[in-house]
């Protein structure tokens, strides 16, 4: 991994506690926190503590952490009260999807009806 990327990465800093965040859930592998510009009443980002740039970077060695990210999404949905009403989990990857932070993250959105297809 590019150590310079890790040093400057906002989500790495957040996971280390160097940047303030409204944390919903955390454990030794993942951190879930409220998005700073929420697009729905519930908008939580779920990240691995390990720096992974984007979904294109993952390989079979990442299967355990990818599973942890999804089980965390389910836990976050329960904690934020959208388990019954429903929610969406999104991974923006690369320019066409509008990925703006180069540290893999899941968006969990809920608390309102979400349109499909997305814009």
Q: Which of residues 42-61 bind ligand 5GP (CB under 6 A)?
A: 45
Active-site annotation holds for 105 = yes
Residue 105 contacts residue 57 (beta carbons within 8 Å): no
Please identify, among the stretches 28-36, 56-64, 79-87, 110-118, the one whose residues bind ligand 5GP according to the rule CB under 6 A. 28-36
In three-state secondary structure terms, 10 is helix
Residue 79 contacts residue 71 (beta carbons within 8 Å): no
Q: Does residue 72 belong to the site contacting ligand 5GP (CB under 6 A)?
A: no
Under DSSP, the state recorded for 117 is S
- Closest contact distance (angstroms) between CB of 86 and ligand 5GP is 20
Distance spanning both ends of the chain, measured CA to CA: 33
Q: Which of residues 89-108 bind Zn ion (CB under 5 A)?
A: 103
Q: Does residue 115 belong to the site contacting ligand 5GP (CB under 6 A)?
A: no
């Amino acid at each position: 991994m590019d150590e310079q990327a890790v040093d400057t990465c906002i989500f790495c800093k957040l996971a280390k506690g160097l940047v303030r965040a409204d944390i919903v859930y955390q454990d030794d592998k993942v951190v879930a926190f409220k998005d700073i510009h929420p697009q729905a009443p519930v908008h939580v980002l779920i990240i691995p503590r390990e720096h992974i740039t984007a979904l294109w970077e993952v390989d079979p060695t990442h299967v355990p952490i990818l599973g942890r990210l999804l089980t965390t999404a389910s836990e976050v949905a329960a904690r934020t009260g959208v388990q019954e009403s429903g929610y969406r989990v999104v991974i923006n990857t690369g320019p066409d999807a509008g990925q703006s932070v180069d540290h893999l993250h899941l968006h969990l959105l809920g608390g309102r009806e979400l349109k499909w297809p997305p814009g």
